[in-house]
A = this chain, B = another copy of it.
Amino acid sequence: METQTLLRIDFNNMMAEAIGEHGITEEELASYLPMAKTAARAMVEKRPSMKWRELPHNQAEVVKQLNECAEYVRGNFDDFVVLGIGGSALGPIAVQQALNHLHYNDLPKEKRNGSRLFVEDNVDPERMNALLDVIDLERAAFNVITKSGSTSETMAQLLIVFDLLKERLGGDYASRIIATTDEHKGNLIKIAGEYNLKTFHVPDGVGGRFSELCPVGLLAAAVCGIDISALLKGAARMDEVCSEPDVYRNGAYMAALLQYISMKRGKNISVMMPYADSLKYMSDWYAQLWAESLGKRFDLSGKDVFVGQTPVKALGVTDQHSQVQLYVEGPFDKVVTFLGVDEYRSTYAIPRGFEHIPDVSFLGGHTLNELIKAEQEATEYALMRAGRPSFSITLPKVTPETIGALLYFFEVMTAFAGELLSINAFDQPGVEGGKQATYALLGKPGFDEKREELKNAPAKNPRYII
């Protein structure tokens, strides 16, 4: 089967057979199958509106342009700086960490496949200053990414970079800036037109957290030498698998269903725990996807439901020494997803030594590969013995294909979970309040009312300040 070469999901440790009362029985799972069938039908019916599902299939021309642009950047600039936040940043970071050298930026130029990559997803003034200490502006290109063109953080960064480049380079400065934004709407496309910026488009109907496989994520990847066609090919193959209506043959649907049942049973926390440094930031990307898509007040009928499962990022084996005590002994409130690989891309032998100390010398003759895999197996086993639900997703190896597949898998899983929860997985109305308050505080035109509201907020009680 196609799936097996892309990824494998094992949910034995979700089941009552393995973990007892906190597990799901075969009967319970069966009772949800009609619901899953309905959701699967909805996924087919709604597919035309889920434009992100077509990204693996409809970008041949864009990929060519992206690769050309990437080659130009690689050939002309030492540093490539992404100005973006949320969906415009987490994907590029995750894919770079997965597919490039783990100390990519520290490598000498001749050992890298492209420019150094900096993803600037915060507006801390100390960080902007720190960035400028380590890049050479005259040898840097910038990719400003915001679909709406109204993301304050990103537009503030753009104002800064425009100004710096203009001062430093004079006339030609706009050639250093590549815009990725909506084709028709918003401020950035307007600016891009006026300054004749090289521009890529975020396709219609592709929201931020579902945009990694469009130019939002693909340009940075291509600049760093990643094979973006292979990424998309993996996603396309995963699309086939994820179009299977039977949950027992569709890992993304099954994973969503298992999480849905778990949520119903009070497991409000989803831990994502890769056992590979390369997959570390996949958890951050997943955390946005899962949190922002499913964390919703209203269901589709407008009823208050306040649903959502809180993603927690962990890293194996590192967080065995930080979080596993809680996972094994704390409340029965979480599902752990192990994210593993069958084969690491390199091997490291542990030499023999300290032979007179058997407590140490037993490690010699093994490899780090064996050690990390044994630890994953041991942690899965320990959680199982403690009656804690978990499932594992295993990539045969981390490659552009399997990473493309994994991204697509999580996207389908999330969309399907949205169907099961009967919520809109594609909006984020809950962030509006905070945005408006920020605008009001900074004096954006049109927010006088909010400004008044903030002024009239109840005074702080000094008794509650220590």
Contact = CB atoms under 8 A, between A and B. Distances in A.
Contact of A429 (B276, B310, B329, B445): B329
Interface string A293-319: 011110000000011101011010110
A331 B312 CA distance: 15
Interface residues of A, number: 154
Nearest to A124: B277
Contacts of A138: none
A381 B310 CA distance: 21
Contacts of A152: 363, 371, 375
A107 to B, nearest CB: 6
Nearest to A297: B329
Contact of A428 (B312, B325, B466): B325
A435 B381 CA distance: 11
A372 B321 CA distance: 33
Contacts of A461: 12, 15, 17
Contacts of A106: 105-106, 134
A185 to B, nearest CB: 12
> Chain copies in the assembly?
2
Contacts of A331: 268, 306-308
Nearest to A106: B134
Contacts of A170: none
B330 A307 contact: yes
B160 A433 contact: no
Interface in A336-377: 344-348, 350-354, 357-360, 362-364, 366-372, 374-375, 377
A284 B322 CA distance: 9
A391 to B, nearest CB: 9
Contacts of A111: 133
Given A156-B368, A160-B350, A322 B444 contact: no
Interface stretch (A66-74, A231-239, A246-254): A246-254
A459 to B, nearest CB: 9
Q: Is the interface of A mostly helix, strand, loop or mixed?
A: helix
Interface in A429-464: 429-431, 433-445, 454, 457-458, 460-461, 463-464
Nearest to A459: B12
B163 A351 contact: yes
B310 A370 contact: no
A292 B325 contact: yes
Given A17-B461, A292-B323, A329-B308, A8 B466 contact: yes
Contact of A315 (B14, B122, B307, B372): B122
Contacts of A107: 133-134
A286 to B, nearest CB: 10
A458 B465 CA distance: 55
B318 A125 contact: no
A310 B333 contact: yes
A434 B378 contact: yes
Interface string A376-389: 01110110011000
Contacts of A103: 130-131, 133-134
A187 interface: yes
A295 B326 contact: yes
A326 B292 contact: yes
A60 interface: no
A327 interface: yes
Contacts of A438: 371, 374-375, 378
A422 interface: no
18 contacts: A86-B318, A103-B130, A125-B346, A152-B371, A155-B363, A160-B350, A268-B268, A287-B322, A291-B330, A295-B325, A306-B332, A310-B312, A324-B431, A374-B437, A374-B438, A374-B441, A375-B438, A378-B441
Closest 8 CB pairs of A and B: A86-B321, A295-B326, A308-B330, A378-B437, A295-B330, A288-B322, A102-B130, A328-B430
